[in-house]
């Protein structure tokens, strides 16, 4: 867990620097080696490490728009993920998905920029596992800002109705962009939704990786044993703005400070120290993580950008209107291949 958490934190620190290159002074979001939005998850790492510690590559995980820590804990290939974030041809989705649309079928991981979107596919994966008599489970991560989305509520219903092996993990960082949770959700604690769908609901009040891991062990075990879904809600901390470049003018200084005060990585380090894992051992883990992250970023930046002609490749699963075998060029595109 410590390795996943320090990897994710350092990865995002490095991405932050890369992202800002060329964007200032006016904050041009389209400039620099990582164009577009970037949502960082410093302060969320415990939910990723604590839950994914109990999963295998065969289990499915869906993540929202703030996905890197979860992807890392699930074992997504760091180099190809980084190439995707930099929009390179060798990225997980050939550079067309970007940081919010990472997809790695090797470890059954996907994420999406549409909030709560990952819930129905996770329920689908869980239903498939059940029908095939497999013991695989699925985990859907979402933010507390998504707990009133229809996709989430319908997913809770189906998961409970069919006793599906799925775990919903709400990362509760108090904020949905500029909206405090108390102003948009009744009740603001996502785990309370569980009672209405007749499933266990667990609230973890601290971003304590050990506590998350213990709760996840129970939830994943219950799902693997055929005893149905669980809804977990974990209090995490949003140490950053909603996205890079967010001036956070809506956020009181005291709140920002409060979220900086606790650090789940330091907390886990203290647990490790108490368990006899000294700083020398932890430093070795950190050094190794930094080396892998630096290597992945270096590798990704060396990768070629996609050819403009390939813009429509792998985008449609069915031929779009106007595209036939005889005429593979869609009228609206004007040039380039379409399939």
Residues forming the site for ligand TPP (CB under 6 A)? 65-66, 113-115, 143-146, 173, 175-177, 242
Q: How far apart are CA 108 and CA 106, in angstroms?
A: 6
Q: Which of 118, 145, 165, 330 binds Mg ion (CB under 5 A)?
A: 145
By the rule CB under 5 A, 67 interacts with Mg ion: no
Q: How far apart are CA 195 and CA 39, in angstroms?
A: 31
Question: Which is closer to ligand TPP, CB of 39 or CB of 286?
Answer: 39
By the rule CB under 5 A, 173 interacts with Mg ion: yes
Least distance in angstroms from the C-beta of 249 to ligand TPP: 17
Query: Quick one: which of 180, 183, 188 has its CA closest to 254?
Result: 180
Least distance in angstroms from the C-beta of 250 to ligand TPP: 13
| CB-based contacts of 139, cutoff 8 Å, min separation 6 | 51, 52, 55, 59, 60, 61, 62, 122, 166, 167, 168, 169
Q: Are 125 and 108 in contact (CB under 8 A)?
A: yes
Give the residue nearest to ligand TPP (CB). Answer: 143
Question: Which is closer to ligand TPP, CB of 137 or CB of 147?
Answer: 147
Question: Which is closer to Mg ion, CB of 99 or CB of 222?
Answer: 99
H-helix segments, the chain:
2-20, 45-52, 68-74, 78-85, 119-131, 150-161, 193-196, 209-224, 253-261, 264-274, 279-301
User: How does strand 109-111 pair with strand 103-104?
Assistant: antiparallel
Least distance in angstroms from the C-beta of 295 to Mg ion: 32
Site residues for Mg ion, 91-120, by CB under 5 A, read: none
Least distance in angstroms from the C-beta of 286 to ligand TPP: 25
DSSP H or E run through 141? strand 138-143
Least distance in angstroms from the C-beta of 170 to Mg ion: 9
Window contacting Mg ion (CB under 5 A); options: 67-75, 142-150, 245-253, 318-326: 142-150
Residues of 219-252 as b/e, b for ≥16 C-beta within 10 angstroms? bbebbbeeebbbbbbbbbbbbbbbbbeeeeeebe
Least distance in angstroms from the C-beta of 168 to ligand TPP: 13
Question: Which is closer to ligand TPP, CB of 115 or CB of 159?
Answer: 115
Q: Which does 184 bind (CB under 5 to 8 A by kind): ligand TPP, Mg ion, none?
A: none
Question: Which is closer to ligand TPP, CB of 246 or CB of 313?
Answer: 246
Window contacting Mg ion (CB under 5 A); options: 22-30, 171-179, 282-290, 298-306: 171-179
Residues forming contacts to Mg ion in the complex (CB under 5 A) are 143-145, 173, 175-176
């Amino acid at each position: 867990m410590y390795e996943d958490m320090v990897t994710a934190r350092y990865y995002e620190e490095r991405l932050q620097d890369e992202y800002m290159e060329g964007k200032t002074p006016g904050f041009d979001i389209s400039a620099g080696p990582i164009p577009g939005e970037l949502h960082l998850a410093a302060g969320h790492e415990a939910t990723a490490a604590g839950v994914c510690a109990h999963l295998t590559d065969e289990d499915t995980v869906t993540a929202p728009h703030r996905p890197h820590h979860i992807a890392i804990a699930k074992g997504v290939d760091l180099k190809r993920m980084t190439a995707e974030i930099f929009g390179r041809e060798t990225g997980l989705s050939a550079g067309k998905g970007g940081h919010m649309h990472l997809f790695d079928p090797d470890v059954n991981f996907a994420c999406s920029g549409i909030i709560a979107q990952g819930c129905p596919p996770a329920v689908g994966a869980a239903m498939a596992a059940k029908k095939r008599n497999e013991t695989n489970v699925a985990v859907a991560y979402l933010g507390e800002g998504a707990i009133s989305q229809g996709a989430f509520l319908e997913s809770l219903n189906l998961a409970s109705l069919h006793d599906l092996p799925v775990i919903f993990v709400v990362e509760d960082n108090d904020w949905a962009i500029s909206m405090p949770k108390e102003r948009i959700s009744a009740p603001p604690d996502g785990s309370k939704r569980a009672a209405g769908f007749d499933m266990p609901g667990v609230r973890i009040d601290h971003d304590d990786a050990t506590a998350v891991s213990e709760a996840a062990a129970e939830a994943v075990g219950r799902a693997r044993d055929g005893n149905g879904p669980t809804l977990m809600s974990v209090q995490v901390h949003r140490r950053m703005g909603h996205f890079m470049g967010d001036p956070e003018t809506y956020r009181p200084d005291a709140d920002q400070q409060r979220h900086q005060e606790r650090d789940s990585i330091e907390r886990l380090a203290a647990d490790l120290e108490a368990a006899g894992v000294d700083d020398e051992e932890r430093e070795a883990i950190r050094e190794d993580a930094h080396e892998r992250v630096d290597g992945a970023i270096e590798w990704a930046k060396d990768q070629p950008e996609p050819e403009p002609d390939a813009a429509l490749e792998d985008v449609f699963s069915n031929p779009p209107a106007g595209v036939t075998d005889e005429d593979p060029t869609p009228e609206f595109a004007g040039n380039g291949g379409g399939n």
